[in-house]
Amino acid sequence: MTTAISPIRLGFFTRLLDQANAAERYRLAIEQIGHAENCGFDSAWIAQHHFHEDEGGLPAPFVFLSQVAARTIRIRLGTGIVTLPLELPIRVAEDAAVLDLMCGGRLEVGIGPGGNLSAYRAFGLDSDARTKLLVRHHRVLIDAWAGRPLPGGDRLYPPNPSLVDRVWQATFNVDGARRAGAAGDGLMLSRTQPRPAGKPDLSLSDIQNPMPEAAYGHCHPPHRHDHPRRPGPGSSCRLEIF
């Protein structure tokens, strides 16, 4: 059996942390992504953060990426990440579907629970339920893009089933990696990975190497709209490291 190896691609990632006001941060990030495209980068990824400007400067990633889409031609545009438990998943599905159509199919959608737990209280949610919310909202997101009936019987408009195969899940642990692989999603890892309690000197490779292995060991084919998700030969797994 021959295993196909995907080519390594180079992406650009920003949390929009320039020492400037919000408008200038956004202007600079747009310029940076345009420059990245001109230099041959394959993708540009932006982080969503609520409230804490020292952690990240962008609460509305799809609004920002719509402007980037209008200023670029080739480079793929990704969210790294949308804090999905804090969002209405159907609204995320709608915004992403429209943006992807407007940018010619260049959108990649990274999702995760986020690291700012105090934001959950502001949104009227319990941060202890973030994994449960992530799983539930992920299911709605996939169903919407795939064209399945939503609660009440409506279906997403505009339809965009190809987005189902461009979902990435960010995680800091093996369970999250397993969940991404089981869903057929890409896996996103970060060099800002927290160290376990009592092990501040543990290397990044010691912490993260088991994660792709866990995802690959539980990987499903891309969950296209025309067949159910199920494991089997030919599984496709994707990895991004920030």
CA distances from 42 to 9, 25, 200 (A): 6, 22, 34
Q: What's residue 115's pLDDT?
A: 86
Q: What's residue 229's pLDDT?
A: 40
Instruction: Find the domain containing 207 and state its range.
Output: 11-241
What's the CA gap between 67 and 46, in Å, rounded? 13
Q: What's residue 235's pLDDT?
A: 45
Q: What's residue 236's pLDDT?
A: 56
What CATH number did the domain enclosing 183 receive? 3.20.20.30
Q: What's residue 130's pLDDT?
A: 97
On whether residue 86 sits in a domain, the answer given is: yes
CA distances from 29 to 71, 118, 166 (A): 12, 26, 23
On whether residue 156 sits in a domain, the answer given is: yes
What's the CA gap between 130 and 119, in Å, rounded? 11
22-25, long-range: CB within 8 Å, 24+ apart, which pairs? 22/53, 22/57, 25/57, 25/58
On whether residue 3 sits in a domain, the answer given is: no
Q: What's residue 152's pLDDT?
A: 94
Q: Are 34 and 14 in contact (CB under 8 A)?
A: no
> What is the full per-residue pLDDT of the chain (242 aa) written as tens digits?
455 556 788 999 999 999 999 999 999 999 999 999 999 999 999 999 999 999 898 999 999 999 999 999 999 999 999 999 999 999 999 999 999 999 999 999 999 999 899 999 999 999 999 999 999 999 999 999 999 999 999 999 999 999 999 999 999 899 999 999 999 999 999 888 888 888 888 888 888 888 988 887 755 555 444 433 433 333 456 777 76
On whether residue 1 sits in a domain, the answer given is: no
The total of structural domains in the chain comes to 1
3-state secondary structure the chain: CCCCCCCCCCEEEECCCCCCCHHHHHHHHHHHHHHHHHCCCCEEEECCCCCCCCCCCCCCHHHHHHHHHHHCCCCEEEEEEEEHHHCCHHHHHHHHHHHHHHCCCCEEEEEECCCCCHHHHHCCCCHHHHHHHHHHHHHHHHHHHHCCCCCCCCCCCCCCHHHHHHEEEECCCHHHHHHHHHHCCEEEECCCCCCCCCCCCCCHHHHHCHHHHHHHHCCCCCCCCCCCCCCCCCCCCCEEEC
On whether residue 2 sits in a domain, the answer given is: no
Q: What's residue 226's pLDDT?
A: 41
57 φ/ψ sector (left φ>0, alpha ψ -120 to 50, else beta): alpha
On whether residue 129 sits in a domain, the answer given is: yes
Name the phi and psi angles at 153, rounded to 5: 100, -10
Place of tokens 């992530």: 134
On whether residue 4 sits in a domain, the answer given is: no
On whether residue 194 sits in a domain, the answer given is: yes
- Among 77, 90, 72, 71, which Cα is nearest to 43's? 77
